[in-house]
Structures are given as structure tokens and as C-alpha cells.
Amino acid sequence: MRSPIRAVSIEELRQNAKKKLPKCIFDFFDGGAEDELTLLANRQSFKDTQLTPRILRGVEHIDTSVDLLGQKCSLPIAIAPTGALGYGNHGADLALARGAAERGLIYTLSSSATTSIEQIARLAPGRHWFQAYILKNKDFFYSLIDRAQAAEYEGLMITVDLPVGGKRERDNKNKFAIPFNLNAKVALDFMTHPIWLAQLFANGIPVLENMLGLEGEQRSINQLASSVGRNYDPSFNWDDLKRIRDYWHKKLIVKGVMHPQDAVRLLELGCDAVVVSNHGGRQLDTASSTLSALPAIVKAIDGRIPVLLDGGIRRGSDILKAIALGAQGVMTGRATLYGAVSSGDAGASHALSILQDELVRTMQLCGVSQISDIKSDLIFNREHTQ
């Protein structure tokens, strides 16, 4: 069935979300830390990486499937954890989970989602990972892990790049809070987005479902955006991660890895996969792009566990470039988020369709018919042309 959404690119889905959402909410999803240099670098690295296509390879039939952590996925894509999506569109978490399930992809639920661990498992059955932020309240933290275990999530993702929250200046300038601080600027922002406002009245203010009951629960979007923060534990260290590894007996994935030495230590600790990620440019500004960090981590891991790349994916060609540089797959955050918050289930599915179509087309134009054919020789290297 043809999608009712006319967007032909992820950028058009982004523009749809920008039109639908109040500025303060769009900025929360779209923005990065400080000058947003790392946010921009994630995209620029893909733009600066050129391809060297091969010809006459016979590319009538394309297979985009790949094995990720022991099971086949139809695409080398997993949905990254993204929090507070219900502020953009009621049910957006479920929309992403359903879109992933339809294609046999992995969906990662954020600790700060507006849909609970149990609701995702019940309403969008499929391959699920649960992403846990490290909380000071360890009893509550481990209770989340227990809930994910009981709901039969196959993987636990620990995000390690958030000892403190990044300085997200868009969010600070908007001064948006929940309960809503209806100053004249915010009220006008809301009223000029009637579809979003009507949905809010119909469904009520979203709740961070998995954080209910946590002492000192964050109630300000500004606090959430800049630190989800008071409840996060900056003392968390390697010994603490080892305790989690011993506690959780399924797949353990660590997200937020940017240094090859850290990747090797995670491998030695017994982690099942690492995700090269700078939190989408939302934490340490001027950190390197993830695509730039990827090759050294891939070299250090040397194929012993999967390496996924997160950050800056907007095109099917980006996926091919990441795989050519050694990633087993990518995680999409904003790319699929834009579809879900602008158009719910249809938008989430359409975002994945765009990426799938572009990946197939890029593979054909590069002369590769399956993911395992994507090698580093597809990346243009000026030295090899001289």
C-alpha cells in the first residue's frame, strides 16, 4: 500500500515535524549541545565521505538482510532509544516499535520514554532492547532491569556518555517546563500549532512512564533536556558496569563509545556489542563525529563483537558508508523520530521505507548485491587514485 505521506527524504519528514510541533518541543528533539558543532559534524562526516562505485556487477536482486546479535534483520538498522516522544505525538514510541516489528528490526526503548516497558512488549511484539540510564537510586535502576527481563527484552543497553547532562542551549532559551509555564511566548507557540494542541487536550500531558515512582522525578522539559540529570549517577564506573554484566544474563550493549581503548575494555568485560555514539551531538560539543571515530574502534575490536554506529544517519548512502567503514549496522534516532512525531505509525513506517529504498538504490549504484559485499574499497581514497 502506498504511504499517504508525500515526503521523499528524511529532511522532508524533519520539516513536517518542524511545522507540526511548537518550537520549544521541536528544538528539544532536533537540538544539540552548546554551539552544536558535533551535531553538525555527524552529518558533515557523511557528506564529506565519497563513494567509489563498482560497475557491471549484476545488481538486479538486492539482499539488505544482516545478522545482528544472533538473529536476522531485514535491514542493517536498529531503532535507537529516544526519550519523551509523547510530547511530540501521542503514541510515537509505539509507532516506532511497530514500524521496527513490521520489518523484523530491533527497537530500543528509552528509560525516559512515554510508553512503558510492558506496553511496548504487549502492543508491539518483536525484538526489543531496553536502554537504561544510570540512576543514583540503584534499587529503582535494577527494578527497571528486572521489568525488562520479565517482559522478555532480549538486550539491555547501557548508555555511558551521560555522567552529567550536556548544555543544550536551545532548550535553555525556550524555558519550557512541565507543568506548562504558559508565558506569552510559549502560549503563542502552542496556539499557532492547533493540531498538536488538540492532540494534547485529547490525550493529556504525557508521562515518563518508566520513571514513575522515582524519587525526585524530573518535571521540567528543560531539566530533562539538559540533564535528565539530577537522578543520574556521575560516580558510575567500570566496576559498576561489571556488576550489571553479572546481573543481566542476556545481551548487553554499551552505547556512547568513542575511544578504541574503551571499546577493547568493554569487549574484555563481556559486553556483546558496542555502539559508537556521541549522543547525537547532545552531550560533549566538539567531540568528534561518530563516523570519524568508527574505523579506529572497528580495528581495535577486530570482529570479535558487533560494532554499531549511531549519529547523523539521514540517507541510505550513510548506512552503506558506515558498513563500508566496518560497522555491522547503524542505529537511527532522529531520522525515524521525525516520522513518528509528525505522522505517528505511518510516519515511522515511511521513514524506514525511505531509508530502505535509498539503501537498495545506493547498493545497486555501487555494484553490491548483499550487505556482506560492502567493503572499504567503496570509500573513495584520494591516495589510491594517484
pLDDT-derived band of residue 51, with 50, 70 and 90 as boundaries? very high
The domain of 113 spans: 10-380
Asked if residue 179 has a cis previous peptide bond (ω within 30° of 0), the answer is yes
9-18, 112-121, 180-189, 289-298: segment of lowest average pLDDT: 180-189
pLDDT tens-digit map of 326-357: 999 999 999 999 999 999 999 999 999 999 99
Q: Residue 381's pLDDT is what?
A: 84
Q: Check whether 226 has a pLDDT greater than 80.
A: no
| Mean pLDDT on 95-109 | 98
Tell me, yes or no, if 279 is annotated catalytic.
yes
Which of 26 and 218 is assigned the larger pLDDT? 26
Q: Structural domain tally of the chain? A: 1
Instruction: Tell me the pTM.
Output: 0.94
pLDDT value, residue 154: 98
Mean pLDDT across 106-129 = 97
User: Is the residue at 5 inside a domain?
Assistant: no
Residue 386 lies in a domain: no
Is 3 part of a structural domain of the chain? no
| Structure confidence by residue, pLDDT tens digits, 227-241 | 345 678 899 999 999
pLDDT band at 179 (very low <50, low <70, confident <90, very high): low
Residues 266, 54: Cα–Cα separation, whole Å: 36
CATH number for 154? 3.20.20.70
* Start-end of H helices in 132-237: 138-150, 169-174, 184-191, 194-203, 221-227
Tell me the C-alpha distance between 256 and 100, whole Å: 22
Q: Which of 90, 128, 193, 279 is catalytic?
A: 279
What percentage of the chain reaches a pLDDT higher than 70? 92
The grid coordinates of residue 139 equal 534499587
CB atoms within 10 A of CB 357: 12
- Least-confidence region, from 158-162, 169-173, 214-218, 237-241: 214-218
Where does the pLDDT of residue 215 fall: very low under 50, low under 70, confident under 90, or very high at 90 and above? low
* Residue 182: pLDDT band with limits 50, 70, 90: confident
